[in-house]
Amino acid sequence: MSLAAIDWGFILTQSVTQAFDFNAVVYALAAIGLNIHFGYAGLLNFGQVGFVAMGAYGMGLSITLWQLNPFLAVVVGMIFAAIFALILGLPTLRLRSDYLAIVTIAAAEIVRLIARSTVMRPITRGAEGLNEFIGPFRDLSPFSPGQIYGIGPIEWRGSQFFAVVVGWILVALSLLLVAQLMRSPWGRVVKAIREDEDAARALGKNAYWYKLQALILGGVIGGLGGMVQALGNATVQPDFFVAPLTFFFWLVLILGGVGRVWAPVFGAVVYWFMITFIQNTGRQLVDEGLIPTSIMDTSQIDQIRFWIVGAALALLMVFRPQGFFGSREEMALDAR
């Protein structure tokens, strides 16, 4: 019954591990995609989780349904996400940004509902999800599944370490791509559209087409996040892709700073460190009886995450919309 009984070493190790685990990669990739959508092109995508799901299902189905090789499967996952972007973008990108927000949040939920429906069970395995796609990827992995890899106390099993390594490589490539793109003429046009669509149009730029390209690009990077999730958890389950997840990605983006290349990675690492730290500490406090179970039991500790995300999202948006690294001017957007 004392603070001394709390195993801070364990909590810190856990937190650091989670901060660099494949989950953080998933969040980072999804937020990099969102950054292209919102940070650079000013598109209000409230359904990023739908793109993540499309990527994961695209890759999983390629193997369970069509027996493609793993590299092609990744390409198919990217195509799935791109098609989803086309379906969403074609009707809505001419409209005001709040319409896009409503449509994307609805579309992401459609993806989940269809994926888990009994009608689709022969293809998506319904609520159980896809589980038999991991074999070909395990064969590619240079790490033996049972062995432990890591630096010091931060360890992963070989089966997951593959997802961690592949994931961070994908993050690095995506960041490189975003950095180069935003320095290119394309990036300048996209940012110009965000600032003043009419002005960009007056200069002869097809704003609709540029916004569609941005939606596709960000969606595909989000889709890569879905594939890393699939690789790390060795399963693709529809109920992983619930609507609140999108707003976790939003928090990660805003935490780092909207419109900054590096920001999503920083946000994802900080987010996972903080959440793991708080939850593990909370769990130990309950176990030690420092928080009476009449107030909260261990199963309720997991709900704290939603309170924190909700509060952090609202407070950051009001008091520090530019996050850690952003500039306030870039966040001076408004619904037009």
Partner 1 sequence: MLLFVSSVLLIWGPGLAVAQEGGESVGTRLRFENVDGDRIPIEGGRVTVATLDGEAVAEGLSDAEGNVEIPVPGPGTYVLTLDVETLPEGVVLRDPDRLSTETQVLEGQTGRTIFALIAGDVTLDTDEGVSFRQILQLSVEGLKLGLFLGMGAIGLSLIFGTTGLVNFSHSEMIVWGMLVAYFFNFYGFAGFLGFMANWPAPFGAGVNLAFAALFAIAGGAGLGYAMDRWIFLPLRERGVSLISQMVVTIGLSLILRYVFLFIFGGSPRFFADFTAQSAITIGIVDITPKDLITAALSIIILLGVGLLLLRTKLGKAMRAVADNRDLAESSGIDVQRVIRSVWVLGGSLAGLGGVFIGLSEQVSWNIGFRMLLLIFAAVVLGGLGTAFGALVGALVVGIGIQVSTLFIPTELKNVGALALLILVLVFRPQGILGRAERIG
Q: DSSP characters for 123-152?
A: HH-GGG-B-TTHHHHHHH-SS-TTSEEEET
Q: Which stretch binds partner 1 (CB under 8 A): 165-173, 219-227, 228-236, 326-334?
A: 326-334
Residue with smaller CB distance to partner 1, 6 or 114: 114
Residue 181 sits in the site that holds partner 1 (CB under 8 A)? no
- Strand runs labelled E in the chain: 148-151, 154-157
C-alpha 286/C-alpha 301 separation (Å) is 9
Instruction: Using CB under 8 A, count the residues that bind partner 1.
Output: 50
Q: Of 43-62, which residues contact partner 1 (CB under 8 A)?
A: 44, 46
Assigned token pair, 149: 């890899």
Instruction: Give kind and range of the element (H or E) at residue 154.
Output: strand 154-157
Residue 113 sits in the site that holds partner 1 (CB under 8 A)? yes
Residue 31 sits in the site that holds partner 1 (CB under 8 A)? no
Assigned token pair, 250: 């939003």
Q: Pick one of 173, 306, 327, 329: the residue that binds partner 1 (CB under 8 A).
A: 306
Residue 310 sits in the site that holds partner 1 (CB under 8 A)? yes
Place of tokens 């966040």: 331
**Residue 323 φ/ψ region, left for φ over 0, alpha for ψ in the -120 to 50 degree band, beta for the rest:** left
Q: List CB contacts of 246: < 8 A, sequence separation 6 or more.
A: 45, 46, 47, 48, 49, 105, 108
Residue 209 sits in the site that holds partner 1 (CB under 8 A)? no
Q: Which stretch binds partner 1 (CB under 8 A): 51-59, 130-138, 167-175, 325-333?
A: 325-333
Residue 123 sits in the site that holds partner 1 (CB under 8 A)? no
- Which chain residues interact with partner 1 by CB under 8 A? 44, 46, 87-88, 90-92, 94-99, 101-103, 105-107, 109-110, 113-114, 117-119, 243-244, 247, 250, 254, 300, 303, 306-307, 309-315, 317-318, 321, 331-335
